[in-house]
Chains A and B, each alone.
Chain A
């Protein structure tokens, strides 16, 4: 049940070209899009399905230290959600602080007061991330 793309090309062709166009109807839009992309990114590799592309997808990270370089390369390669690889946790925490610009979770003064016969429960422990809050779907 293949779809014929009658609506893709506006009626701009002349009579002679019409038959040709109808044969290539399925090709023209994609090729036109490809030309657009190559015009914007001339350095784009020939084989998008090649190993480089897939390797990046697998690793989801590059061994470059600077987060800024990573953002630049994302613009060219168009890869989705690359996570940064860090070599030490100090760098990682610095970058995270810059990225999210949030304070480290601070527990209230009362939460730190654990006396002898008070057994801490999960509710007492400091919240690490907002995702530990109940989902809004359950609200």
Chain B
């Protein structure tokens, strides 16, 4: 597999030259559980970048506009707003703690000056409105400037309050709370292309919501068997088609993807399409099913393809062909001979996400040791890069990394046994229009930009 990331300009291929741009978060080795980033998402324009963490907090970064006096800060992301989205709860009926960890954030397309996003933990989805306030009214008649009510008898003259500029204040307020619709843990939310509805998926069910209505949701997929002993697979991810508001897909722990059309019936238990790659029965092992479990499914921006991430690979599927993927990219095949220890330390259950670039010509996913992988679909090249503080000089180019599996380790290579499995990159995001990527490495958020930018 070709490993080079730079060098030579192939006709029509992306020649990315990724450079360090920014890193956010604390440097100290002792990572508080609450600071672990659990989701990263750009909004539709790419001007806003949202992160959610295990402590239930959301931090939104905004891209700086071009500024002639500070040319280097062009394109930098700085904190725009931060708020506590979810808090820990206790389910008294089941005696279970409900974690405040933000599982997913999804932006709504912008319709007015305010920004809206959906954030969810295991049980509750919330619609947040983020709005700016840069004016303040002064000169009220009935109250003083500090808010104290004036004695009405002392008011001798009337004046018209004037709007005066004030320091920009960004306010986040919860506008809707969609609760009590999931028995099991929510793993996905997806906004529909109709901009009115969205889906939420847990291990066994998918519900359809209207953004305005919080006391009702429709169940559209239910794979819970009548007898729980017959349970063989769970839903791992779900997403709406980017253009066809009646189409959704959901992936399973058995490595299959089902496409459902909401026009065919109200309850989409029967799929319209079933995507599964046939497995060679002679190669089956104890681990086969576990590593085939799909941890993420994402439609391409074009809506023609979708991508699935299982433990060792990323597959691109053509929606018109159910029998097998059109592309398979190995993420870290060298881990196949480490599956025993990865099962013991639970790493085999890690849920990696994947993402497309804006033009669908490249895909990205994370790995261990703070490595992440990028695949250029057109040029058929891939590269391994690392998010590390050691390589964090402004605009420093990222050097491709290589993992060696055999005995002879070349200089600059790292052997499989030296990989740090605690440093996992599960969440990455690609700017919808430009070559800017956000990579979450435990409690730090790295932003890289293409040099040509």
B405 & A7 in contact (Cβ 8 Å cutoff) = yes
B 320-346 binary contact with A (CB < 8 Å = 1; else 0): 000000011110011011111001101
Report Cα–Cα, A61/B95, bound state, in Å: 10
B254 within 8 A of A: yes
Residues of chain B lying within 8 A (CB to CB) of residue A135: 35, 53, 55, 57, 59, 82
- Which residues of A, 53-68, contact B by the 8 Å Cβ criterion? 54-55, 57-58, 60-61
B340 & A33 in contact (Cβ 8 Å cutoff) = yes
Question: Which of A3, A50, A78, A87 sits near B333, CB closer than 8 Å?
Answer: A3
Report Cα–Cα, A78/B349, bound state, in Å: 10
- Which residues of B, 326-384, contact A by the 8 Å Cβ criterion? 327-330, 333-334, 336-340, 343-344, 346, 349, 380
A16 within 8 A of B: no
A48 & B34 in contact (Cβ 8 Å cutoff) = no
A-B contact number at CB 8 A: 151
Residues of chain B lying within 8 A (CB to CB) of residue A79: 346
Question: Which of A3, A51, A78 sits near B343, CB closer than 8 Å?
Answer: A78
B393 within 8 A of A: no
Report Cα–Cα, A127/B319, bound state, in Å: 50
Residues of chain B lying within 8 A (CB to CB) of residue A3: 1, 328, 330, 333
Report Cα–Cα, A86/B288, bound state, in Å: 34
Report Cα–Cα, A80/B53, bound state, in Å: 19
B340 & A8 in contact (Cβ 8 Å cutoff) = no
Residues of chain B lying within 8 A (CB to CB) of residue A129: 34, 55, 88
A8 & B443 in contact (Cβ 8 Å cutoff) = no
B26 & A51 in contact (Cβ 8 Å cutoff) = no
B286 within 8 A of A: yes
A125 within 8 A of B: no
- Which residues of A, 16-58, contact B by the 8 Å Cβ criterion? 26-27, 29-34, 36-38, 40, 44, 48-51, 54-55, 57-58
B436 within 8 A of A: no
Shortest Cβ gap from B64 to chain A (Å): 16
Residues of chain B lying within 8 A (CB to CB) of residue A33: 285, 287, 336-340
B253 & A130 in contact (Cβ 8 Å cutoff) = no
Q: Given A3-B330, A78-B343, does the pair A54, B232 have CB atoms closer than 8 Å?
A: yes
A5 within 8 A of B: yes
B25 & A49 in contact (Cβ 8 Å cutoff) = no
Residues of chain B lying within 8 A (CB to CB) of residue A104: none
A131 within 8 A of B: yes
Report Cα–Cα, A5/B416, bound state, in Å: 15
Q: Given A36-B340, A49-B233, A137-B445, does the pair A31, B285 have CB atoms closer than 8 Å?
A: yes
Report Cα–Cα, A32/B338, bound state, in Å: 10
Residues of chain A lying within 8 A (CB to CB) of residue B445: 137
Q: Give 14 A-B contacts (CB < 8 Å), ordered by A residue.
A: A1-B329, A30-B336, A32-B337, A37-B340, A51-B231, A55-B228, A61-B96, A80-B349, A85-B95, A86-B95, A129-B88, A135-B57, A135-B82, A139-B26
